[in-house]
Amino acid sequence: MTQLSAAAPAVGLVDEAAYLEAVAQARKAADAYYGSGESGLDDETYDRLLRGITAWEDAHPGQIAADSPSQQVAAGVTAGDVAHTVAMLSLGNVFSDEELTTWAISVQRRLGGASVAGWAVEPKLDGVALAARYREGRLVQLVTRGDGTTGEDVSHTIGDIIGLPLTLTEPVTIEVRGEVLMTEDQFAAANALRTAHGATAFANRRNASSGSLRAKDRAYRVGQTFLAYAALTDPGHTDDPILAGLTHTRLVARLAALGLGTTADTPLATRSYATLDEVLDRVREIGALRAGLDIELDGAVIKADNPADQILAGTGSRTPHWATAFKFPAAQKITVLRAVQWSVGRTGVIAPRAVLDPVDVAGTTITYATLHNPADIARRGLMLGDHVIVYRAGDVIPRVEGAVAGLRTGTEQPIDIPELCPRCGGGIDRSQERWRCARGRACGQKEAIRYAVARDALDIDGLGEKIIVQLVDKGLIEDFADLFTLTHDQLLTLDRSGAKSADNLIAAIETAKTKPLNRVFCALGVLGTGRSMSLRIAAHFGSMQAIRDADAVALAQVNGIGNDKAPVIVQELAELAPIIDKLIAAGVNMSQPGFVPPASTDAETDAETSAQNAKSELPLAGLTVVVTGTMTGPLADRSRTEMTELIAQAGGRASSSVSARTHLVVAGDNAGSKHDKAQALGIETITPEELAHRLAGHLT
């Protein structure tokens, strides 16, 4: 059986002094984590430290420190003035298949050797535990977990949390327990509000949730999301007809029926399984879904599904014996921001990049991370020397979420923001969040040409960086459109250029004239577009002239553009008009193969119907297709752009991410997480060879 993950190695403690130091460090981190939500240790490091503490205590039971974080819920560092009728406990953790198996055996032992009557598996949500009390169907109080015995009243947030309706669908008296967290959009909105009111941006979503729950004096309100996973009747009588006899799986479904937020009817829904092998398969499914979610989770929770088994297994002082969490490898870590590098792209956009102390995040060593733009740096309040949270999930580019302000020492330094263009020394256009060199594309002239001739665009073989530099420096070309008017004699003036190489390059340039419109449009390097968007635009309009004639309203109709990007594209096309005119004059193709124009008169109706019928007969008609991994067989030499074009010609729509709306996944060698996610969602998955067979009449 494939291992889900290796157990996080415990921190080795050699003597009592090291043990007491570890206890102090863990308590400090826990105090910040459960208090403000901001800790100086990432989850994986804290887990390793706590495992080391626990291992020491197991070996030295007579030397356990009274303030050890292993002895109390939430490390005993938070409390409140509202008593819990039934303790809100933490969960124990396992980190590997073997540890989960050992834990399951311990549960069976507590049942006197009897088999567990089913296991419930659900996601471990990475948020803040909360109890919501309803009286006769009306929400009356919200209480944090605190130290498990008492919590803090946060009822001032009633009305701000999706998933906690003010009134349930039935007039029941019940206490619902679950997790408060933020979606990606909620996190962005919270930070926008926070920085607009002069505060530093939240470092991460859990920090934002915890801080927003406790804040009472803010001039703004922050939206969050609640997902329920437990309930009890007031005042803790579990024999009430509302919940009587319900397995955990059925309980979650019951809470959803009452109108509460749950994971029911989603791919993360709580499900019950008879065997541990089935449990491990489900844990893998949840792990595969993790990268594409709008919420954060850090593991899966496994519980005895039957309430009779739960009662018989019992609970400890901190954790229930009948439930545990399988922790996934961390998708975010804390490291130090050492420097910020500024680069200039092909369109003149000035982009900052964080230089970090190397850190392993989700199996990849991260040294650099995106910072987006100067405004983003200001919003996050970043400084050189800051301990920052770096986030990466799946194929997402690493990014800096924010600084851990509590770890600042006073030695941090402001980040130097450039006054002039880092490449050419010219002025900077600061009219938008994404700064640009005032010279625009002229500053990134050579980079723009390299982009235009690359494989995903015009794919001009033999036109490498050294030749481009010579062509520009000798004044033979100003932009990539000038390539199409180059002569054989001009190429012979280049260093190390002979007659044969000049002939080959002229032939490659001539071939590029016949590329489909989407390749030509991609070569233009229009802001906000790339190879996929270029294909959508070309397929939508059919010709360069139609694209140029389109206004912002028409462009906004293209899937993925919308009202924000459309005016930018219109402005870009106006700026690129001289280059487009030169391309047309040079005889470069300006139409999209297979384009079917919409009928505009009644006389054309029959022709339109015929064209649409023909399109519906294409082998991928109406399907959203994701290609992942290395292509093999007849498709082995196809680039990702060529695969996208092939899918479009066959009537499909190529997508870069797997979701519930995906119809087909083509999985080549080393397909990775996208293949796993497709399997978890039950999406049809085929090999490149099988796709080639389906498209036999469309391969060129």
Q: What does the pLDDT look like over 256-297, one tens digit per residue?
A: 999 999 999 899 999 999 999 999 999 999 988 887 788 988
Q: Residue 188 above 90 pLDDT? A: no
How many Å from the N-terminal Cα to the C-terminal Cα in the chain? 42
Asked whether residue 207 falls in the same domain as residue 163, the answer is yes
- Domain ranges, residue 347: 332-429
Confidence of residue 72 (pLDDT cuts 50, 70, 90): low
CATH of the domain at 391: 2.40.50.140
The CATH number that applies at residue 43 is 1.10.287.610
Q: What is the pLDDT of residue 517?
A: 94
Taking Cα atoms as reference points, which of 499, 677, 683, 479 lies closest to residue 581? 479
Does any domain span residue 419? yes
User: Do 31 and 86 fall into the same domain?
Assistant: no
**Helix or strand (DSSP H, E) at 130:** strand 128-135
CATH number at residue 535: 1.10.150.20
pLDDT digits (tens, 9 = 90+) for 582-617: 999 999 999 988 776 655 444 444 444 444 444 557
| pLDDT for position 604 | 45
Measured between alpha carbons, how far is 692 from 411 in angstroms, rounded to an integer?
A: 60
Q: Return d(Cα 566, Cα 529) in angstroms, integer.
A: 10
Q: Does residue 131 share a domain with residue 233?
A: yes
Which pairs count as long-range contacts for 59-67, CB under 8 Å and 24+ apart, including other chains? 60/16, 60/19, 63/16, 63/19, 65/19, 65/20, 65/23, 67/23, 67/27
Q: What integer pLDDT is reported at residue 165 of this predicted model?
A: 95
Q: Containing H/E element for 189?
A: helix 184-196
What pLDDT shows up at residue 112?
A: 92
Q: Can you tell me the distance from the alpha carbon of 38 to that of 29, in angstroms, rounded to the nearest whole number? A: 8
pLDDT (0 to 100) of residue 674:
83
Q: Are residues 249 and 310 in the same domain?
A: yes
pLDDT for position 273: 96
- Domain for residue 362, yes or no? yes
Are 66 and 130 found together in one domain? Answer: no
- The model carries a pTM of 0.60
pLDDT of residue 233: 80
Domain match, 586 and 676 both: no
CATH number at residue 621: 3.40.50.10190
Q: Is residue 368 domain-resident?
A: yes
Examine the domain organization and report whether 255 and 151 are in the same domain: yes
Q: Is 309 in the same domain as 340?
A: no
Q: Answer with the one of 512, 529, 557 that is the final residue of a domain.
A: 512
Q: 256 and 133, same structural domain?
A: yes
* Domain containing residue 201: CATH number: 3.30.470.30
Distance CA 575, CA 568 (A): 11
State mean pLDDT over 527-551. Answer: 89
Which residue pairs from 675-678 have beta carbons closer than 8 angstroms and sit at least 24 positions apart in sequence? 675/628, 675/629, 676/284, 676/287, 676/288, 677/288, 677/289, 677/291, 677/292, 678/626
Residues 6+ apart with CB under 8 A from 262: 163, 178, 227, 228, 229, 252, 253, 255, 256, 270
Average pLDDT of the residues in 232-244: 58
**Minimum mean pLDDT among 196-205, 343-352, 476-485, 543-552: which range?**
196-205
Residues 465 and 538 in one domain: no
Query: Within 10 Å of residue 661's Cβ, how many Cβ atoms?
Result: 11
Same domain, residue pair 302 and 182: yes
Q: Pick from 531, 561, 595: which residue ends a domain?
A: 595
pLDDT at 677: 81
Tens of pLDDT, residues 132-162: 999 999 999 999 988 788 888 999 999 999 9
Residue 9 forms part of a structural domain? no
CB neighbourhood size of 113 (10 A): 7
Bond before 267 cis per omega within 30 degrees: no
Per DSSP, the three-state class of 133 is strand
In a domain, 607, yes or no: no
- For residues 7-15, give the mean pLDDT: 59
Give the total number of structural domains in the chain. Answer: 6
Q: 215 pLDDT band (50/70/90 cuts)?
A: confident
Query: Are 451 and 400 within one domain?
Result: no
Q: From CA 436, how far away is CA 424, in angstroms rounded?
A: 12
Instruction: Please identify, among 405, 429, 453, the residue that sits at the C-terminal boundary of a domain.
Output: 429
| Within a domain: 581 | yes
Query: Is 439 among the domain residues?
Result: no
Residues of the chain above pLDDT 70, percent:
86
Q: Does residue 236 surpass a pLDDT of 50?
A: no
Domain membership flag for residue 684:
yes
Instruction: Give pLDDT, residue 342.
Output: 94
pLDDT given at position 610: 47
Q: Where are the alpha helices (DSSP H) in 415-498?
A: 445-453, 465-473, 488-492
Report the catalytic residues. Answer: 124
Q: What is the pLDDT of residues 436-464, one digit of tens each?
A: 899 888 888 888 899 999 888 999 988 88
Render 638-655 in DSSP notation, one character per residue. --HHHHHHHHHHTT-EEE
